[in-house]
Structure 1
Amino acid sequence: MAVPETAGEHIAMRRKRLRYRAWHRGTREMDLVLGPFADAHVDAFDAAKLDRLEALMEEPDTDLLKWVLGQEPVPAHVDGEFLALVVADHKRRAGV
């Protein structure tokens, strides 16, 4: 019989999984954008913000990188407000 998980254990596992995914994207460039962002913010995120990060991380790295660098406009289906938080965090860390 499986032990039921509490809400705290569930969200802790989501956070751990998201941090891992942020650092293991497939392209080093996005690892260096999303990894530090996740390390700095995921522990403070509630379920709704974790949902927003998960949705953003479902996008392909090639597209994410173009949006982060401002090479292409962010499409309407992407949470541009949340992406702006990621970009601002990256720029702050990079000293831009």
Structure 2
Amino acid sequence: MDLETRLKRLRFRAWHRGIKEADLMLGGFYDARSASWTEDQVTWFEELMEEQDVDIMAWAMGTEPVPARWQGTMMDDLKSLDYVPISK
């Protein structure tokens, strides 16, 4: 599958998790960061999408330790949460 198709598929998956908070976190992360991702980063995010929402959210919010497999710059970016617009 070509990279453009993979990214379109990932965008849909990131915004349609089933839990609104996960949609905002993962969809917002995708929208804010995916344009600059390398193929390895796209693969990382594809694999992360296979994890449970509650686990991803716990890792990103710091309420559970991040497994070694997911540690690194991508998780650090996900944990920053500066990519979700908050209306005032």
TM range (shorter): 0.7 to 0.9
Runs (4+) of structure 1 moved beyond 3 Å?
91-95
Q: Using the TM superposition, give the Cα deviation of residue 92 of structure 1 relative to its aligned residue in structure 2, in angstroms.
A: 5.2
Q: In the alignment, which residue of structure 2 is the partner of 1:30? A: 22
If you compute each CA radius of gyration, which structure gives the higher value, 1 or 2?
1
Q: In the alignment, which residue of structure 2 is the partner of 1:91? A: 82
Give the count of matched residue pairs.
86
**How much is the aligned-residue C-alpha RMSD, in angstroms?**
2.0
Any unmatched runs of 5+ in structure 1? none
C-alpha contact 2:59 2:66 (8 A) present in aligned 1: yes
Using the alignment, how far apart are the partners of 1:57 and 1:79 within structure 2? 15
**What aligned pairs does 1:13-92 form with structure 2 within 5 A after superposition?**
13-88=5-80, 90-91=81-82
Using the alignment, how far apart are the partners of 1:13 and 1:35 within structure 2? 16
TM-score, normalised via structure 1 length: 0.76
TM-score, normalised via structure 2 length: 0.82
Q: Using the TM superposition, give the Cα deviation of residue 19 of structure 1 relative to its aligned residue in structure 2, in angstroms.
A: 0.6
Using the alignment, how far apart are the partners of 2:60 and 2:5 within structure 1? 27
